Amino acid sequence: MNWWKKAIKSLMAYDDKGGFDLFRAFPGIRRFLAVRHHYAQLRTLGDVLFVLVVISGFWGPQEANRNFAVFLTWGLLWPSIVLSWFFVGRMWCGICPFPGLGVFLQKKGLSFNLPVPKFLQKYGVYISVFLLALIIWVEIVAGLDKWPAGTSYLILAIVVGSALLAILFPGQAWCRHLCPLGRISGAAATLSITEFRADHKKCKGCKTFACKRGTDDKTGCPVYLGAVSVNHNLHCLVCGHCLPLCDRDSPQLLLRNPYIELIKNQGRYITCTYIVPFLMGSQLARFLREKPSYHHWQEMSNLPDSLIFSLLLVVCSLGVLWVIKMGASLFGVAKDPICGHLSPMVPILIPMAFTGELVYRMSFFANGIGDFMPTIGRQFGLGFLEKWIFSVPVFPVHILSAFFMLNGAIAGGYILWRFAIVEFEDYITIKSFIGVNLLISILLIIYLWFIF
């Protein structure tokens, strides 16, 4: 069978058995990930970009249309990261510049290497979700997408937070437990078409677990996993650290049906349970804030934008949470004696949640890309670049946005169908099945109305 036929078969498979291994089909991918200086070069490029953003943000012009740092961060880098979630999971985290300072300090021996406290391991998810909410709130209320210095302050705050944890604990404790961007990337990675997994048949009998612990001359997994411990996409950075450490050729990069992990977890991932209602609520609030009616309400009420948006954020998040609760009641099951707490509406809504984020970021990209080169021209006195201005028509962006959101809703319907015929066969009645589909449809209509 041709490799592309095997790839399509893996993408359409009903289970996770016999996935198409990209490392075997394209050895160059494995070689690239295994050679550490390749990642070092990519991380160096990221470091340079971040340094340029910080310098330009603090010392460049403070008008968004005269400072490239704003659109580079919010219009190019962030939408690219969001898009990468669907294809390579958390691979961006493997080259992310944020932990760079902390890694440098650790290499210089400036780390206490204390054990990660139980408190951080247990409650890190709540803290990181709160930090994510804070970042989105500040992005909108403080207008970070129009404030160069504010963008630089945000970047430095995350770098400092990562460095402080690197001084206290080994590895990348910030990435594993507290990073809000890593947390949302991990939740989104459950929807990725690829997964990094060990071939446990080859792992059998391994005594060293070097992929996790490292060796005398090579560091192990930066987030304390190693290929042998990876069984979902939430935490693995797909950084390739374990590849040169494994002498059994166990790690695999598998192509898969992107909904398999969501179907398997049945809503057990606490990260997704907390992120999805807030993320979807924030998207609806952000979309609504861009409508003329929002500014009309603001003028009528004479209340500050920060207060109105905060109230809208809370209302929209509670609305999505109500949809999740209603869906859970239609399922009629919230706890499994073996698996524990279940929230089956969460995996059903995950495709819509992250396509919604892609649509929001794509709209920002489309609105600003035509003025990016002229912005560089205005900032550095390169007049000829100002002639390169263009605009992206609104209509095709709306059509593409509607297409993505419709696909997210269809994906949710597919997951519901799989739940109905296999995982929750004895619980979901025809009435409940129709009810959950109605909830999905209502959310889709709200999204489309807010987008248009």
At 1 the pLDDT is: 60
At 348 the pLDDT is: 95
Contact (Cβ atoms closer than 8 angstroms) between residue 26 and residue 257: no
At 335 the pLDDT is: 57
Per DSSP, 233 falls in state S
Say which residues have a Cβ less than 8 Å from residue 368's Cβ, sequence separation at least 6.
71, 75
Measured in degrees and rounded to the nearest 5, phi and psi for residue 190 equal -65, -15
- Tokens (6 digits) for 285: 């609030």
Say which residue the tokens 């192509």 belong to.
255
At 374 the pLDDT is: 96
Q: How far is CA 66 from CA 63, 114, 373, in A?
A: 5, 45, 10
Contact (Cβ atoms closer than 8 angstroms) between residue 270 and residue 352: no
Say which residue the tokens 């002498």 belong to.
247
At 337 the pLDDT is: 47
At 236 the pLDDT is: 92
How far is it, in rounded angstroms, from Cα 90 to Cα 354? 14
* Weakly modelled stretches of the chain, pLDDT under 70: 1, 333-341
How far is it, in rounded angstroms, from Cα 56 to Cα 148? 7
